[in-house]
Structure 1
Amino acid sequence: MSQPLLRTNVQNVTDRTSNPFGLRPPFDRSGPNERTAVFGYGDANADFHVIGDHPGLHGGKRTGVPFTEIANGNAIQGVLRDPDIDFASGPRDRPVLENCYLSYVHMCSLPDGHQPTASDYAELERYFDAELRAINAHILLPVGEQATDHVLREYTTQRRRFDLNMADLHATEIRGRGFMVVPIRNPSEWDDDDREAIVETLRGILASDYRQTKGVATRIG
């Protein structure tokens, strides 16, 4: 399927929480009792889009919901459930999300212990791009080095400015081409202050007129 055709077929189906755009994974390498893919999930009209790497790293191979099941995913959910953020509520395996959407750069599941290859990421890039543009959020929150690298390369003009030191990039605000990008260090690497740092950054964004961010970033990106 070509990229233009995929974009043409994506429609904003707001009454579906999981895979609202009806994407179909191009391959199945999942293990027993695992979902073929962990599709995007949440509010399809969200202003905040949390972007993980792949199901093996950030969870959901059995629930089918990003950022569930495992420690990395639960840590991100903990941020989204913070009373001052209040993006997530309800069951952790199938949270109710408001103003927030979750997805992965590499949505397909792989057997435990396997990592996506460069060609795997490339094969799924058009799916991720189509979904990101359909959601059209104001704030992109890539989690971990792979997702941050991809988002900075594809949706900002500033990748060359950074060496991908996630400790330095964590919870910072970076102007993109029509987006504000706020990288999040992988939770398994968090220091004592990292959780509070991302919560504090999100508090500040929510307290601001962040919906103007998109227009400003478009003009200067």
Structure 2
Amino acid sequence: MGSRAVRPSVRNVTDRTSNPFGLRPPFDRSGPNERVAAFGYGDANADFHVIGDHPGVHGGKRTGVPFTETDDGLAVQSVYRDLGFATGPRDRPTLENCYWSYVHMCSLPDGHEPTEAEYDELERYFDAELRAINAHVLLPVGERATDHVLREYTTQRDRLDLDMEALHTEEIRGRGFMVVPVRAPTEWGGDDRNRLVSTLEAILERDYRQTKGVATTVG
């Protein structure tokens, strides 16, 4: 795939890689030797936005970078390496035309899951960053991220069962976005990984860009 996979849009939103818009999470509940948050990371001009759950699931509590450390996170990262979006060290890769973030960016002590109130508290930060990145293709990973993205950025959620096996790699038109749900890697079986790679290759081979009507700045 090579350069075809990493052709960027020409927007120059910012050249910062980690937390490019300077978001400040509203609480610090991280454990010892952990980062406050795994902030959004990558190419802020990206056409592809990969969205995970929280650092305890998809990694980043110690690196501060989404999709690192954990088996789930590294499995996702490996797909984007195969396609040429990610290069360099696994704990701090260089991303081109791809951005990674979580619906709940803040770290929590090991064994703790975000409460519904904590997800709600961080939703406005996630939404502001998603609209600032303004990617063309949203790739939510796992049930929580998929439910949120389908509910907030498409009109399809009420028509779809949240069956990740069935939704995996489906192309769903949203409000200015195309959404491609991704099954949690811990649940991948058979051909799931190959289907994701093939779907992304097919999207890259055609004109996936859409006219967008969402905001392109935070605030």
What is the TM-score when the length of structure 1 is the normalising length? 0.90
Mark the CA change 1:216 to 1:44 in structure 2 (over 3 Å): closer, same or farther: closer
Could you say what secondary structure the match of 2:211 adopts? helix
Residue 52 of structure 1 is matched in structure 2 by: 52
Percent of pairs identical after alignment?
77
Query: Per-residue displacement from partner, 1:119-172 (whole Å, max 9, x unpaired)?
Result: 001000000000000000000000000000000000000001111100000011
1:192 Cα shift? 2.0
Query: Per-residue displacement from partner, 1:90-144 (whole Å, max 9, x unpaired)?
Result: 0000000000000000000011111111100100000000000000000000000
1:215 corresponds to which of 208, 211, 215: 211
Residue 40 of structure 2 is matched in structure 1 by: 40
Unaligned runs of 5+ in 2: 1-11, 215-219
Q: Which amino acid aligns with 2:211?
A: G
Residue 71 of structure 1 is matched in structure 2 by: 71
Mark the CA change 1:74 to 1:92 in structure 2 (over 3 Å): closer, same or farther: same
Whole-angstrom distance in 2 between the partners of 1:98 and 1:34: 26
Confirm or deny that 1:25 pairs with 2:37.
no
Residue 147 of structure 2 is matched in structure 1 by: 149
1:216 Cα shift? 8.6
Whole-angstrom distance in 2 between the partners of 1:216 and 1:102: 20
Q: Which amino acid aligns with 2:133?
A: I
Is contact 1:31–1:111 with CA below 8 Å preserved after alignment? yes
Q: Which amino acid aligns with 1:140?
A: L
Aligned pair count reads 203
Q: Which has the higher helix share?
A: 1
Q: Which amino acid aligns with 1:37?
A: A
1:215 Cα shift? 2.6
Residue 86 of structure 1 is matched in structure 2 by: 84
Whole-angstrom distance in 2 between the partners of 1:37 and 1:103: 11
Q: Which amino acid aligns with 2:100?
A: L
Runs of 4+ residues deviating >4 angstroms:
none
1:184 Cα shift? 0.3
Is contact 1:180–1:217 with CA below 8 Å preserved after alignment? no
Q: Which amino acid aligns with 1:133?
A: R
Whole-angstrom distance in 2 between the partners of 1:87 and 1:181: 18
Query: Per-residue displacement from partner, 1:30-56 (whole Å, max 9, x unpaired)?
Result: 111000111000000000000000000
Unaligned runs of 5+ in 1: 1-11
| Matching of residues 1-221 of structure 1 within 5 Å | 14-82=14-82, 85-211=83-209, 214-215=210-211
Whole-angstrom distance in 2 between the partners of 1:15 and 1:177: 27
